[in-house]
Every structure is written in structure tokens, then in C-alpha cells.
């Protein structure tokens, strides 16, 4: 209601806000907020933070304790759905970090949640097919499940990408060329 020259700037902002809200058909993703307790010097920090949260509102992933305790492949499915949606919003492929998925896969394997572990390791294979680590990790799961044939195949895939003495040692053991047992610590 103040029509003084000092409020001309804020009044023009309110007019723009009213206009944009009255014309939603333009497809503009828009929101506004009035910072009553801030001024020209303090509002940029708060508004930039709020603006980024608004623009990237789809990025937050809500993982619960149930997601971690569930033994099915639901967590992998939830992660895939989330990152597919993020990729669509961003306009390019965004994958969950390989190391994070690998950690979750080994945690599931340690707890004998093989369905969950397999889904997570396969997710890494899909997202990072040029990484030797993803095949080595999946092979470790195959060893844990006593699927020697598939373990050998995956260790060989890992070695075809990158030579690794430890992967080679695990493969040699499975092929009967060397004898050793993987400890729980080594599987992490």
C-alpha cells in the first residue's frame, strides 16, 4: 500500500508475481516468497538456498530404515526409479555413485540378502559397464552363493577391463590353480 519511491522496486516485484501466477499456462516453473524479516543485503543468501531447493525439488531421495532392512530388490528398484527421474529432469544420464551402490551390495551380501545384493551389483554393471570393480564385486557374490561358473565368468570380465592381482588370485583359486579362502573383511 506504500506508494513512495522507496517501495517502487518491491511493488514491481509483487506485480510481476501476480502476473505470473495469473498466467500459469506459460509453462514457467515458478514460485515466490516474501522475506519479511530480511532486507536487500540479507535476502540473497536465503533466497538462493530456497531457489536451489525449489529448482531441484526432485533430487532428494528419501531412503528409510525399512529400505535398508528389506531383503528384496526393492531398494535397487527405488534407486533406479529415482535416478531415472533425475536423469529425465536434468536432461542427461545421472547414475548413483558406483562406490555407494557397491557398499550397499556388500552390506546386503554380508547379511545374506542375496536378492538385494544381486540387484545392486547388477545396477552397477548396467551403469558402469567399463569398470572392472563392478564385475569383481558381482563375482564375489557368485562365490558367496557357490556359483563358481558365473564367478569365473565375472572375474574374467573384470580382468579383461583391468589387470588386478587380487582379482587374478581369486580367479586362480576358483579354477583350482591356487588355494585360499576369502575372509569377510576381504569381501568388503
Helix (H) or strand (E) holding 108: helix 98-110
> Of 130, 128, 70, nearest to 104 (Cα)?
70
Question: What pLDDT score was predicted for residue 23?
Answer: 85
Question: What pLDDT score was predicted for residue 50?
Answer: 94
Residue 168 clears pLDDT 60, i.e. is over it? yes
Among 110-114, 173-177, 181-185, which range has the highest average pLDDT? 110-114
Distance CA 104, CA 95 (A): 15
If pLDDT is split at 50, 70 and 90, which confidence band does 187 have? low
pLDDT tens profile 50-87: 999 999 999 999 999 999 999 999 999 999 999 999 99
pLDDT tens profile 2-50: 888 888 988 999 999 999 888 888 778 888 898 989 888 999 999 999 9
Distances from the Cα of 28 to the Cα of 24, 39, 44, 124, angstroms: 7, 26, 22, 36
> Of 100, 111, 124, 102, nearest to 71 (Cα)?
111
> Of 151, 84, 79, 156, nearest to 120 (Cα)?
79
Which of 32-46, 93-107, 142-156 is the least confident region? 32-46
Distance CA 6, CA 146 (A): 77
Distance CA 178, CA 158 (A): 19
Distances from the Cα of 21 to the Cα of 8, 18, 107, 186, angstroms: 20, 5, 48, 58
CB neighbours of 103 closer than 8 A, spacing ≥ 6? Answer: none
Distance CA 163, CA 127 (A): 21
Question: What pLDDT score was predicted for residue 46?
Answer: 92
Amino acid at each position: 500500500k506504500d506508494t513512495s519511491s522507496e517501495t517502487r522496486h518491491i511493488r514491481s516485484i509483487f506485480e510481476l508475481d501476480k502476473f505470473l501466477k495469473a498466467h500459469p499456462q506459460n509453462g514457467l516453473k515458478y514460485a515466490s516468497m516474501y522475506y519479511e524479516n530480511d532486507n536487500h543485503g540479507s535476502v540473497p543468501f536465503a533466497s538462493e538456498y530456497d531457489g536451489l531447493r525449489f529448482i531441484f525439488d526432485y533430487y532428494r531421495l528419501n531412503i528409510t530404515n525399512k529400505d535398508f532392512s528389506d531383503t528384496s530388490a526393492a531398494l535397487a528398484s527405488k534407486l533406479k526409479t529415482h535416478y531415472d527421474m533425475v536423469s529425465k529432469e536434468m536432461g542427461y544420464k545421472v547414475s548413483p555413485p558406483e562406490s555407494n551402490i557397491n557398499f550397499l551390495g556388500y552390506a546386503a551380501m554380508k547379511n545374506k540378502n542375496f536378492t538385494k545384493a544381486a540387484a545392486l551389483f547388477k545396477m552397477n554393471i548396467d551403469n558402469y559397464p567399463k569398470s572392472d570393480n563392478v564385475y569383481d564385486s558381482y563375482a564375489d557374490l557368485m562365490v558367496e552363493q557357490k556359483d563358481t561358473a558365473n564367478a569365473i565368468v565375472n572375474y574374467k570380465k573384470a580382468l579383461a577391463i583391468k589387470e588386478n592381482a587380487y582379482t587374478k588370485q581369486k580367479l586362480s583359486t576358483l579354477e583350482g590353480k591356487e588355494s585360499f579362502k576369502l575372509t569377510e573383511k576381504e569381501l568388503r
